[in-house]
Amino acid sequence: MTGDDIAPVDPVSFLAACSPLALAPTQQQIESLEAFEEALYFANQVMNLTRVAREECWLRHFVDSLLIAPLLPERARVLDIGPGPGFPCWPLACCRPDLRVTALDSSGKAMRFLATQPLLNFELIQGRAEERGVREAYDVVTGRALAPLAIQLELSAAPCKVGGAVIPMRTPADEPSVQAADAKALGLELETIHKATLPVLGAERWFPIYRKISATPERYPRTWAEIRRAPLVKP
């Protein structure tokens, strides 16, 4: 299916897409999403924040971000690593006000844009995950195709609480990486793989749920150069 074939997802069809996710966005939340869309594409004219066409924003950005929502416990503290201009973190914070959502990204322009879109339950931190040093602080750590899976797990494990979960947002193409990643070395255990389908496109999304069963060893995460040179995979 080409971009020209995609039927636009507007606020009305967005509500229908949210129903299977146990979400019922309020009128105020819909208006906030509309304002975010307007701000994103106005800023995109000069900041190059997204390559997604505006007519596909509600589908590829908003609905896609919310596919993970049923996996997030009530009142969870959620860390989104590398969200760029706000995905999945901003739609999650908007449509799940019970969550406390933190966006962590090294991109100054992305953080400057998100600073113009405040929410009461939304926090911004500019920095690199491997350098931040926060450990055992979040109930869920996620990220939308942040990096190859083994790298994403290493960046995500330490900030996650024992008993919490690292839930990368991936696709079926990542199945070999799921099998190869050495999650155990990080204190993680693959619990299950939740699968969801993006409406209209019919694209399958995979959410491998890694339970944090023990504290991540202090040596992880390593420096970015070490992580890139030798991602953690099973021997």
pLDDT tens for the chain, residues 1 to 235: 334 444 456 788 899 999 999 999 999 999 999 999 999 999 999 999 999 999 999 999 999 999 999 999 999 999 999 999 999 999 999 999 999 999 999 999 999 999 999 999 999 999 999 999 999 999 999 999 789 999 999 999 999 999 999 999 999 999 999 999 999 999 999 999 999 999 988 999 999 999 999 999 999 999 999 999 999 999 8
Number of domains in the chain: 1
> What pTM value is reported for the model?
0.95
**Structural domain that includes position 74:** 67-229
Instruction: Confirm whether 48 is domain-assigned.
Output: no
Q: Which residues fall within 8 angstroms of residue 58, CB to CB, at 6 or more apart? A: 8, 9, 10, 11, 13, 14, 33, 37
Instruction: Confirm whether 175 is domain-assigned.
Output: yes
Neighbouring-strand partners of residue 68: none
Instruction: Determine the longest span between alpha carbons in the chain, in angstroms.
Output: 52
Instruction: Confirm whether 1 is domain-assigned.
Output: no
Instruction: Confirm whether 33 is domain-assigned.
Output: no
How far apart CA 220 and CA 157 sit, in angstroms, is: 8
Instruction: Confirm whether 125 is domain-assigned.
Output: yes
Starting at the edge strand that comes first in sequence, how are the strands of the sheet with 100-105 ordered? Answer: 122-126, 100-105, 77-81, 138-144, 160-169, 203-212, 188-198
Instruction: Confirm whether 89 is domain-assigned.
Output: yes
Q: For the chain, how far is it from start to end, CA to CA, in angstroms? A: 39
Q: Supply the CATH number for residue 151's domain.
A: 3.40.50.150
